Amino acid sequence: MKRITLVLLLLYASKTMAQLSFGFTYKYALEGVEVEVVFKNSPAEKAGIKEGDFILMVNDTVMRVVANERTANVFATAPVNSKFLLGYYGEDGEVYRGKTVTIIKEERSNFLNKCLEGNCTTGTGKHIDMEGTVYEGNFKNGKRNGEGKCTTANNITYDGEWKDNKREGTGKAAYQVKGYDFSNRSWNYEGTWKNDMMEGTGKYVFGDGSYYTGQLKENKFEGKGFMVLKDSTTYDGEWKNSELNGQGVMVKKNGDTHTGTFVNNKLEGTVTVFTKATNTTITREYKNGKPL
User: Residue 184: its pLDDT value, please?
Assistant: 65
CB 89 within 8 A of CB 95: yes
Compute the Cα dihedral for 78, 105, 156, 16 and give only its sign.
Answer: positive
CB 80 within 8 A of CB 20: yes
User: Residue 155: its pLDDT value, please?
Assistant: 82
Q: What is the pLDDT of residues 83-109, one digit of tens each?
A: 999 988 777 877 788 899 999 999 998
DSSP symbol at 242: T
User: Residue 2: its pLDDT value, please?
Assistant: 39
Pick the CATH number of 113-209 from 2.20.28, 1.20.120, 2.20.110, 1.10.3470: 2.20.110
CB 160 within 8 A of CB 167: yes
Confidence of residue 11 (pLDDT cuts 50, 70, 90): very low
Instruction: Identify the helix (H) or strand (E) that includes residue 197.
Output: strand 197-206
Q: What is the pLDDT of residues 32-51, one digit of tens each?
A: 788 988 998 999 999 999 98
> CATH says 20-108 is which class?
mainly beta
CA distances from 187 to 171, 222, 244 (A): 14, 19, 20
pLDDT at 6 exceeding the cut of 60: no
Taking the model in full, what pTM does it have?
A: 0.79
From the number of C-beta atoms within 10 Å of its C-beta (0-12, 13-18, 19+), residue 254 rates as: exposed
Three-state secondary structure call for residue 75:
helix
DSSP symbol at 184: G
Confidence of residue 183 (pLDDT cuts 50, 70, 90): low
Average pLDDT over residues 118-144: 95
